[in-house]
Amino acid sequence: MVRTFYNELADKINKIKDSFNRPLTLSEKILYSHLYNNKNIVSLRRGVDYVDFAPDRIAMQDATAQMALLQFMMAGENRTSVPASVHCDHLIMAKSGAPEDMKSALITNREVYDFLSSVCNKYGIGFWRPGAGIIHQIILENYAFPGGMMIGTDSHTPNAGGLGMVAIGVGGADAVDVMTGMEWELKLPKLIGIKLNGKLNGWTSAKDIILKVAGLLTVSGGTGCIVEYFGEGAESLSCTGKATICNMGAEIGATCSIFGYDDSMARYLFATGRKEIAVLADKNRKHLNSDPEIFSDPTKYLDRFIEINISDLEPHINGPFTPDLATPVSRMKAEVEKNKWPVKVDAGLIGSCTNSSYEDISRAASVVKNALNVRLTAKSEFKITPGSEQIRYIAERDGYFKLFEKIGGEVFANACGPCIGQWDRKGSDQNLVNTVIHSFNRNFAKRTDGNPNTHAFVASPEIVTAIAISGKLTFNPITDTLLNSEGKEVKIAEPVGLELPPQGFGKIENGYQEPEKNGSDVDIIIASDSERLQPLKPFKEWDGSDFSNLPLLIKAKGKCTTDHISMAGFWLKYRGHLENISDNYMIGAVNYFNDKTNLILNQLTHKYDTVPSVARAYKSAGIGSVVAGEENFGEGSSREHAAMEPRYLNVKAVIVKSFARIHETNLKKQGVLTLTFSNKEDYYKIKENDKIDITVLKEFSPGKQLTVVLNHPDGEKEKITANHSYNETQIAWFKAGSALNLIRKSKKST
């Protein structure tokens, strides 16, 4: 597939260039060479028009694949139309170190792993067993290729941008479209260019570039945009450093991020056994980069342009509770004091899909070595989650784990673990206020260990390691000294690392299961009393009438990420069981009217109760409800449970100030009406016991506002207008009850 791709690339790009008759950026080249139908591309407007694409590949991880595949099973296909893979990484609990944790994961999650493995076998999907590693790391090591396009049911899919791919996070229903051979639709992204000048040095690493960018653009600044990095600074970064930056582009809401093909990518491809791809990509180098005119006059061609001098960039620490609160290390002392963040650091954690490269591990190990040389040991706990078995193997072989052990380091399984609340941390149930620092990407409340009072900070692996050694959030390794075991003031020398393993990656048992050539005989078993898996039932079609008198379920206040809407950690075990997981709906969201989580008014009983019980009460009384929210609603992950749960619980509409891209699409696909206030201040008009009408639905059409009537309890009615971003196809999803219903209908009629 990849060979054919490169053989056709020059021709395709030249045709695109002929039609545009202007220089093109790298993402434009990739997007337009992956169109589903050859439409009139020149007239397409960025940020306005929806375009149909044909991605080359699909990746799914176990926590989202369950729903994606349960939906795919309903679509009536025999095999996936596009190469796809499933990765078992999210469900492994970190507790006592890799060997023990793997043993218990295989027992507790057996039913789910067996289900995923058999579905993969039946439908021709590659299956990566538990222990093989985290989806994005495996994709980078095995499947990503420059110039390609892929989608993945995980928001950090853009990690593959480090190898020059347009890689986009989506909900499972989008993956189902592509697996059934249909087009995949996306609003044509706008383009942000970031020019990196200079070269990293000392304690600063690629992670600090994205931590800085997150501070500049905030959690919603990249919404609807592809971020393209270029410049001498970009070329000087390793391929895996580039991947870290693209990975965390999810934290600014970017559709994806990307770097042009260069020597660092060639080196990585060679090292990971993909010489042939490197040779083909080399031949196509100019098609795998933006045209030179873009670099000389970026503001002419891009929607936004930013320059960063990485030679002067300081290491950053972002957090707590949000990944865009960026503080350079030299200002940490002042910020910690001002905000009264707990100074003592209980744990430092490195690894995850974001920062598990050989370079990361070797630089963190260098910090440890330098600290041991001056007789320092670690004050905080220190944990390592390798991104893949490949990385684990070489890190162990090359002696890095030995070094980590010397400061009490513990290696967890090759899995998400503490990055997604899957950390069975001693004492976390006591909800004590404490600080941890990690090199993962997100730090929303409860996400590390389930404790809402854990202040999680994000930094590079080398800074995390240095801080874990010092035990203090305020430690600046560039300037500060520490007291060693001999009572002397000492400094930790700057880390040095290696981009790639000098002894190569070596041969390992990688945990891959090739699907059967013909899977028609494979049976998929779901036990009828299973608590973890449940076949789906199609949602009902829209009945053709306006919504009237729908009680407000909850008006969420402030940040409402998918972690607030459908929490991970404990709840991950119900990812294949819609009915059971619906018991976590909005339990993390703050109720505007009492500032409490999971306590809302039941308009039927006039009593306060949890969000899921009130929603279930409305559902069983046969009434729908409405949810309201503020900015960037549903930011964070791709989990479509955050959209399927409200649909299952009979929530008819979600009205917010603004949506995060993936969550809005997920809601639309499941048939929940997504609206935004045309006047954001109208959010404040919604009262706790309002009944809400949504009218003119019969005239629901692209670009036409809908009317929302707030029926206040005193009999007063307030009319407000709401915008929507539906196109014709998406309106058809709404009318059919879900996008999947529409696929099923079209399959039946053919």
565 binds ligand MIC (CB under 6 A): no
Residues in Cβ contact with 346 at an 8 Å cutoff, skipping those fewer than 6 apart: 380, 381, 434, 435, 436
Give the three-state DSSP class for 548: strand
User: How far is it between the farthest Cα atoms of the chain?
Assistant: 80
Tell me the Ramachandran region of residue 202: left when phi exceeds 0, alpha when psi lies from -120 to 50, beta otherwise.
Answer: left
Q: How far is the CB of 131 from ligand SF4 (least distance, A)?
A: 14
Return the number of the residue (134 or 225) whose C-beta is nearest ligand SF4: 134
Q: Which residues are 87's β-sheet partners?
A: 61, 128
> Which residue type is seen at 139?
I
Comparison of 148 and 418: residue with beta carbon closer to ligand MIC: 418
Residues 432-451 that bind ligand MIC (CB under 6 A): 442
154 binds ligand SF4 (CB under 6 A): yes
Residue with Cβ nearer ligand MIC (116 or 420): 420
Q: Please identify which residue in 74, 112, 119, 134 interacts with ligand SF4, judged by CB under 6 A.
A: 134
Query: Considering only 17-25, 99-107, 151-159, 718-726, which stretch makes contact with ligand MIC by CB under 6 A?
Result: 151-159
Which of ligand SF4, ligand MIC, none binds 440 (CB below 5-8 Å, type-dependent)?
ligand SF4
Helix (H) or strand (E) holding 520: none
Known active-site residue 637: yes
Catalytic status, residue 366: no
Instruction: Measure the CA–CA gap between 7 and 12, rounded to whole angstroms.
Output: 10
Q: Quick check: 161 binds ligand MIC (CB under 6 A)?
A: no
Nearest approach, Cβ of 135 to ligand SF4 (angstroms)? 6
The stretch near ligand MIC (CB under 6 A) out of 41-49, 140-148, 305-313, 636-644 is 636-644
Helix, strand, coil shares of the chain, percent, nearest 5, are: 40, 20, 40
Backbone angles phi, psi at 577, to 5 degrees: -135, 95
Distances 323 to 170, 211, 251, 561 between C-alpha atoms, Å: 20, 8, 7, 12
Phi-psi region of 26 (alpha: psi -120 to 50; beta: other; left: phi over 0): alpha
Residues touching ligand MIC, count (CB under 6 A): 14
CA dihedral 193, 199, 203, 205 (to 10 degrees): 40
Write out the two tokens for 483: 């007291």
Q: Which of ligand SF4, ligand MIC, none interacts with 352 (beta carbon under 5 to 8 A by kind)?
A: ligand SF4
Residues 6 or more apart whose Cβ sits within 8 Å of residue 322:
219, 443, 444, 559
Closer residue to ligand MIC (CB): 80 or 153: 153
Question: Minimum Å distance from CB 133 to ligand SF4?
Answer: 10
Closer residue to ligand MIC, CB minimum distance, 425 or 691: 425
User: Total number of residues binding ligand SF4 (CB under 6 A)?
Assistant: 13
639 tagged catalytic? yes
Q: Which helix (H) or strand (E) holds 347?
A: strand 345-351
Q: Which of ligand SF4, ligand MIC, none has residue 638 at its interface (CB below 5 to 8 Å by kind)?
A: ligand MIC
The yes-or-no answer on residue 154 being catalytic is yes
210 near ligand SF4, rule: CB under 6 A: no
CB-based contacts of 107, cutoff 8 Å, min separation 6: none
Q: Which of 46, 90, 136, 363 is catalytic?
A: 90
CA-only gyration radius of the chain, Å: 25
CB of 648 to ligand SF4, least distance (A): 24
What are the beta bridge partners of residue 717?
711
Active-site choice (57, 447, 455, 639): 639
CB of 238 to ligand MIC, least distance (A): 23
138 lies in the binding site for ligand SF4 (CB under 6 A): no
Considering the complex, what minimum distance in angstroms separates the CB of residue 587 from ligand MIC? 15
Q: Does 156 bind ligand SF4 (CB under 6 A)?
A: yes
Within residues 50-109, the interface with ligand SF4 by CB under 6 A covers 89-90
Write down the least CB distance from residue 471 to ligand MIC, Å.
28
List 33, 46, 62, 89, catalytic entry: 89
- Specify the stretch interacting with ligand MIC by CB under 6 A; choose among 465-473, 603-611, 635-643, 651-659: 635-643
Exactly one of 154, 177, 208, 324 is catalytic; which is it?
154
The single residue listed with the structure tokens 């597939």 is 1
Query: Quick check: 53 and 168 in contact, CB under 8 A?
Result: no
| Binding of residue 352 to ligand SF4 (CB under 6 A) | yes
CB of 285 to ligand SF4, least distance (A): 30
Residue placing its CB nearer to ligand MIC in the complex, 113 or 268: 113
Contact map string, positions 384 to 413, toward ligand MIC, x by CB under 6 A: ------------------------------
702 prior amide bond cis, ω within 30:
no
CB 394 within 8 A of CB 387: no
- Using the rule CB under 6 A, which residue among 144, 217, 332, 420 binds ligand MIC? 420
Pick the binder of ligand MIC from 168, 254, 568, 740 (CB under 6 A): 568
User: Residue 441 in 3-state DSSP?
Assistant: coil
Check residue 666 for interaction with ligand MIC (CB under 6 A): no
Site string for ligand SF4, 392-431 (x = CB under 6 A): ------------------------x--xx-----------
Which residue in the shown chain puts its C-beta closest to ligand MIC? Answer: 637
**Pair of tokens at residue 55:** 């991605």
| Contacted by 204, from ligand MIC, ligand SF4, none: CB < 5 to 8 Å by type | none
CA distance 318 to 211: 7
Regarding beta strands 625-629 and 547-557, do their DSSP bridges make them parallel or antiparallel, or are they unpaired?
parallel
Calculate ∠ Cα 489-492-496, nearest 5°.
Answer: 165
Q: Which of residues 461-500 bind ligand MIC (CB under 6 A)?
A: none
Distance CA 123, CA 743 (A): 18
Token readout for 435 is: 């600080």
d(CA 496, CA 214): 25
- Do 166 and 54 contact (CB within 8 A), yes or no? no
- Which run of H or E residues covers position 98? helix 98-108
Which 8-state DSSP code applies to residue 313? P
Under the binding rule (CB under 6 A), the answer on residue 90 touching ligand MIC is yes
Report the length, in residues, of the chain.
750
Contact status: 636 vs ligand MIC (CB under 6 A): yes
- Does the protein bind ligand SF4 through residue 441 (CB under 6 A)? yes
Catalytically annotated residue among 442, 564, 575, 724: 442
Q: What phi and psi, each to the nearest 5 degrees, are found at residue 537? A: -115, 140
Closest CA to 187 of 534, 609, 697, 702: 702
Shortest distance, CB of residue 575 to ligand MIC, whole angstroms?
7
- Binding residues (CB under 6 A) for ligand MIC: these are 63-64, 90, 154-156, 169, 420, 442, 568, 636-639
Where does this chain bind ligand SF4 (CB under 6 A)? 89-90, 134-135, 154, 156, 352-353, 416, 419-420, 440-441
Query: Would you please indicate which residues are annotated as catalytic (active-site) residues?
Result: 89-90, 154, 442, 637, 639
